[in-house]
């Protein structure tokens, strides 16, 4: 029980910190209960960094406001309808919520908010036992009505009440279970897993925005694979991201030892590893991770069996880009993310032509131009897409990509590749050809851009001569 003693010590030290001590003293003086609850209590047992400070109390929202106003440099009541008041106290953000005993109508996940008068009753309505513990303040007494400590020590996810009731009330909790398997490294109890399978279709009553937000949180964990497998194995993915389980039956023509589903999860693993090594100080890249997970979703629709039993997936990159765009739009991801993910998927096979023969400088320029600001993500995705167990093949592909990146670096230094533009802009084109803004200016611009990609920078004088010759040769 060394972990328990250590956690209690951490919680005790936390309770004595300035903001919490001031807050708990103020509530005690006012005659109300206060307890630190949920994530910080759980994370103390897991030796994780303590971040959000969430409290619960028997004080009503107006009474909470009255207590925190003198202590805080700022406060807000945006969650007042749900009993929550937020504040900044001694530089720390805190949220304090009145005890609740919510009721659900079975049609939506929005509860009818009812305030309660018992800490224990408030705790058992929460999602998982490991999040249903509290530290009473200022007495520093641990309250654990559902056996959360035992589940923490067993690294197990279990609901405080019947999982059928808990998930029936709020189906989003099933996706949170998937996320916690990745975020905390926990496993889901057998009864909880059974309930997830039985109630997977209930996720349909949750708004797509909340589903997408929870999926994004899962993908941004340090190891999302376990949580994604929970989504697929439980049947939740059929309603949230059906393209993912659809990959399980597809055999990848390049990687015969794995189906495309396992290959995609491995690509995601490797993309995250590369992301960390290449950009160690950057936050998790959701765009890259979505692209890695979905890069092969065009394969089911493009699968063909050729003569001799060879399986092909021609143009799955183009088809996959369209499918990803459609799915992400349905999940209400922002336009920038949708466009970036679909572009990365469409481009993810481009490099493999490089290994078949040396690219010309113009081909390298086109690769950079088409990737645009996504080039670094494309580097990572393309490298991560190599999951072959054939060491010689893997090394050959890695060396080839090293060579491509080196050529890009050299050309970039010489030509400012990241912002390839024609030698003449639109204003110059109109002045040289005597044109007004319109379609013909666009055609001339594209002609000069092709020259720039094929031949590099020509300079203003040569570009002008070539433009005039092109214009004169056009059919009248």
- Averaged pLDDT of the chain: 89
CATH code, residues 247-419 = 1.10.3210
Q: Which residue has the higher pLDDT, 184 or 18?
A: 184
Whether 367 has a pLDDT exceeding 60, the answer reads yes
Q: Which residues contact 447 (CB under 8 A, 6 or more apart)?
A: 467, 470
What's the pLDDT tens digit per position in 297-338? 999 999 888 887 788 888 999 999 999 999 999 999 999 999
Nearest residue to 146 via CA among 162, 165, 133, 137: 133
The yes or no reply on domain 2-148 and CATH 3.30.460.10 is yes
Q: b/e string for 411-427 if b means 16 or more Cβ within 10 A?
A: bbeebebeebebbbeee
Q: What is the pLDDT of residue 311?
A: 81
Domain 155-240: CATH architecture, name and number where available: Orthogonal Bundle (1.10)
Q: What is the pLDDT of residue 60?
A: 95
Whether 227 has a pLDDT exceeding 60, the answer reads yes
Q: Which residues contact 25 (CB under 8 A, 6 or more apart)?
A: 138
Which residues pair with residue 88 across a beta bridge?
74, 93
pLDDT confidence tier of residue 1, bands split at 50, 70 and 90? very low
Lowest mean pLDDT among 87-101, 202-216, 276-290, 343-357: 343-357
pLDDT confidence tier of residue 213, bands split at 50, 70 and 90? very high
Whether 443 has a pLDDT exceeding 90, the answer reads no
What's the pLDDT tens digit per position in 380-410? 999 999 998 888 888 888 888 888 888 888 8
Q: What is the pLDDT of residue 362?
A: 81
| Residue with tokens 């088409």, as numbered in its chain | 370
Map out the domains of the chain as residue ranges.
2-148, 155-240, 247-419, 426-473
Q: Strands 304-305, 187-188: parallel, antiparallel or unpaired by DSSP?
A: unpaired
Residue range 246-257: average pLDDT? 60
Can you give the pTM of this predicted structure? 0.82
pLDDT confidence tier of residue 450, bands split at 50, 70 and 90? confident
Q: What is the pLDDT of residue 102?
A: 66
Lowest mean pLDDT among 153-162, 246-255, 326-335, 458-467: 246-255
Q: What percent of the chain lies above the pLDDT cut of 70?
A: 92
Q: What is the pLDDT of residue 84?
A: 92
- What gap in Å lies between CA 261 and CA 296, rounded to an integer? 9
Nearest residue to 420 via CA among 446, 384, 387: 446
Q: What percent of the chain lies above the pLDDT cut of 90?
A: 58
Lowest mean pLDDT among 27-41, 331-345, 353-367, 368-382: 353-367
Whether 447 has a pLDDT exceeding 90, the answer reads no
Q: What is the pLDDT of residue 3?
A: 67
């Amino acid at each position: 029980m060394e972990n328990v003693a250590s956690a209690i010590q951490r919680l005790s030290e936390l309770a004595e910190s300035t903001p919490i001590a001031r807050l708990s003293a103020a509530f005690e003086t006012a005659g109300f209960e206060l307890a630190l609850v949920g994530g910080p209590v759980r994370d103390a047992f897991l030796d994780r960094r303590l971040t959000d400070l969430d409290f619960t109390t028997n004080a009503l929202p107006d009474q909470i406001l009255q207590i925190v106003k003198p202590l805080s440099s700022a406060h807000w009541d945006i969650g007042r309808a749900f009993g929550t008041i937020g504040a900044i106290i001694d530089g720390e953000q805190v949220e304090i919520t009145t005890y609740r005993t919510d009721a659900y109508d079975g049609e939506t996940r929005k509860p009818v908010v009812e305030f309660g008068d018992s800490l224990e009753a408030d705790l058992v309505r929460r999602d998982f036992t490991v999040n249903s513990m509290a530290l009473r303040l200022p007495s520093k007494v641990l309250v654990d009505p559902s056996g959360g400590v035992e589940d923490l020590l067993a690294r197990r996810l279990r609901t405080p009440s019947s999982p059928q009731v808990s998930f029936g009330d709020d189906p989003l909790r099933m996706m949170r279970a998937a996320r916690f398997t990745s975020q905390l490294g926990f496993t889901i109890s057998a009864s909880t897993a059974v309930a997830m399978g039985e109630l997977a279709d209930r996720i349909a009553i949750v708004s797509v925005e909340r589903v997408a937000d929870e999926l994004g949180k899962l993908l941004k964990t340090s190891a999302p694979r376990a949580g994604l497998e929970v989504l697929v194995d439980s049947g939740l993915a059929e309603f949230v991201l059906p393209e993912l389980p659809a990959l399980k039956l597809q055999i990848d023509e390049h990687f015969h030892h794995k189906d495309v589903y396992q290959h995609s999860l491995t690509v995601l693993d490797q993309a995250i590893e590369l992301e960390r090594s290449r950009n160690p100080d950057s936050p998790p890249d959701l765009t890259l991770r979505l692209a890695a997970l979905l890069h092969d979703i065009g394969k089911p629709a493009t699968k063909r069996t050729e003569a001799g039993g060879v399986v092909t997936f021609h143009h799955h990159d183009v088809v996959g880009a369209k499918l990803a765009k459609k799915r992400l739009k349905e999940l209400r991801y922002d336009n920038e993310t949708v466009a970036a993910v679909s572009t990365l998927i469409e481009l993810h096979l481009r490099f493999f032509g490089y290994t078949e023969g040396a690219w010309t400088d113009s081909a390298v320029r086109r690769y950079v131009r088409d990737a645009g600001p996504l080039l670094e993500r494309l580097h990572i995705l393309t490298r991560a897409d190599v999951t072959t167990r054939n060491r010689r093949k893997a090394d050959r592909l890695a060396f080839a990509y090293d060579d491509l990146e080196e050529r890009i670096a050299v050309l970039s230094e010489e030509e400012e590749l990241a912002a390839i533009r024609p030698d003449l802009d639109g204003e110059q084109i109109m002045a040289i050809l005597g044109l007004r803004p319109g379609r013909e200016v666009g055609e001339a611009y594209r002609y000069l851009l092709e020259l720039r990609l094929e031949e590099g920078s020509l300079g203003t004088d040569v570009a002008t001569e070539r433009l005039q010759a092109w214009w004169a040769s056009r059919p009248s």
